[in-house]
Amino acid sequence: MLESYLTGLVVCGGIIVAIGAQNAYILSQAIRREHHWWSAGICMIADVSLFTLGMFGVSAALMAMPQALEILRWLGVVFLGWLAVQAFYRAGRGRLALEAGEITRRSLKGVLFTTLAVTLLNPQVYLDTLLLIPAVGAQQESTTTFLAGASSASILWFTLVAWGGSALAPVLSRPMAWRIIDGVIGLMMAAIALQLAFGGL
């Protein structure tokens, strides 16, 4: 039982850290302290839901519809490219311009919508949560305990990202730091979009 839990914790933890777009977006929200706990919560719920669906056999249906993944692939390319352009634009303007007024602060609804899009329009998320993780879980002594471990990894990771980014906000409040952060986020989003476009899944 404990071995299954730890396997789920380690396997899922390693995979979550490797998914760049989602982590970069949550971190940027946390540093801005802009509804970051809501964003992190959405990611946790999405992961746990997808892990559960994968363990209950949705992976078989996904394998039978490769065209669905192809559609998600190109939606992901477009959306991640758009996020990259936005990040580069913010890097060019600098944080002082972003703080000019409350108009620049996005609504909770807008942040939640973007979080869902970053999460659900990345086909790599489906491959990991509906195929790879359940494939490992199916080999465990207790699939339920494995699922609990995988879910714990997601909750712990996004809690760390949201809390850590928010805690570092005062240190990273200088305009140049914000330019660098937005520039790195833009590069990361653009790299993932290009990888999806030219490298496929």
Verdict on whether the full-model pTM lies above 0.75: no
Q: What does the pLDDT read at residue 162?
A: 92
Alpha helices in the chain (DSSP H): 2-18, 20-32, 36-53, 59-63, 66-93, 95-98, 108-120, 123-126, 133-137, 143-168, 175-194
Mean pLDDT of 6-26: 77
For residue 123, which of 71, 47, 185 has the smallest C-alpha distance?
Answer: 71
Q: What does the pLDDT read at residue 157?
A: 92
Q: What does the pLDDT read at residue 197?
A: 82
Q: What does the pLDDT read at residue 168?
A: 82
pLDDT of 100 over the 50 cut? no
Cα dist from 54 to 3, 21, 88, 101, 165, whole Å: 20, 21, 36, 44, 30
For residue 79, which of 124, 18, 21 has the smallest C-alpha distance?
Answer: 21
Maximal C-alpha separation, the chain:
56
Please state, in angstroms and rounded to a whole number, the distance separating the CA atoms of residues 196 and 125.
12
The radius of gyration of the chain's CA atoms, rounded to the nearest angstrom, is 18
Tens of pLDDT, residue by residue over 37-81, are 999 999 999 999 988 888 777 555 655 666 766 776 787 788 778
Tens of pLDDT, residue by residue over 146-174, are 889 999 999 999 999 999 888 887 776 67
Confidence band of 144 (pLDDT split at 50, 70, 90)? confident
